[in-house]
Structure 1
């Protein structure tokens, strides 16, 4: 059985979230991406507690494309250390998960 992941990424602006989402779907390393936000983020960075509005991107991919998805996000993200967290999908509608697999399957010419 093919494993699937939901990948969480945050971005500092709506425009960047849109650009990341479009890039990963066009490259077929994510079947889809939903943008949520703005959200309020509180986190440690460079020795201080930071507070920022960010946008959360939720992407779905198959296990065989996870590394490619991470690389694609890193290539276009403005953060030095972006949040990229892959959460295994343990179950779901078989037809939907099959669609995720089909849409992210490597195609001829993929690098």
Structure 2
């Protein structure tokens, strides 16, 4: 990787599906306002197929990718749990292996130290 690209970033994504854009946007705004997320990407129209309470289910959901510091994961997950409408939400923490330094510098300035 070039000098302009950092590897081994201190940032992670927290992936979570939500029932609709309203729930996703409310969570995203709360996390950004609390400086727990630099940015939240929301993807509409995701089809989920799963079993819930013994029944096969198919749902159209939205997925949020929360960009935060690795050191803020526990605090961010606690905030997300309070905001999430699902009984058993999926919160998957995914490493960000690197990225362009100018973006990462910006992201550092958006979240708590």
Is TM > 0.5 for Structure 1 vs Structure 2? yes
Matched, 1:50 2:57: yes
Match for residue 88 of structure 1? 95
Across the two proteins, how many residue pairs are aligned to each other? 106
Matched, 1:59 2:92: no
Return 5+ residue gaps in structure 2 as ranges: 1-7
Return 5+ residue gaps in structure 1 as ranges: 107-111
After superposition, the CA RMSD in angstroms is 1.4
Match for residue 79 of structure 2? 72
Runs of 4+ in 1 over 4 A off after TM superposition: none
Matches of 2:65 and 2:95, distance apart in 1 = 13
How far apart are residue 2 of structure 1 and its match? 5.3
Partner residue of 1:21 out of 28, 45, 48: 28
How far apart are residue 79 of structure 1 and its match? 0.5
Matches of 1:59 and 1:95, distance apart in 2 = 19
Matches of 2:23 and 2:63, distance apart in 1 = 11
Matches of 1:80 and 1:72, distance apart in 2 = 15
Instruction: Normalising by structure 2, report the TM-score.
Output: 0.86
Match for residue 18 of structure 2? 11
Matches of 1:65 and 1:103, distance apart in 2 = 12
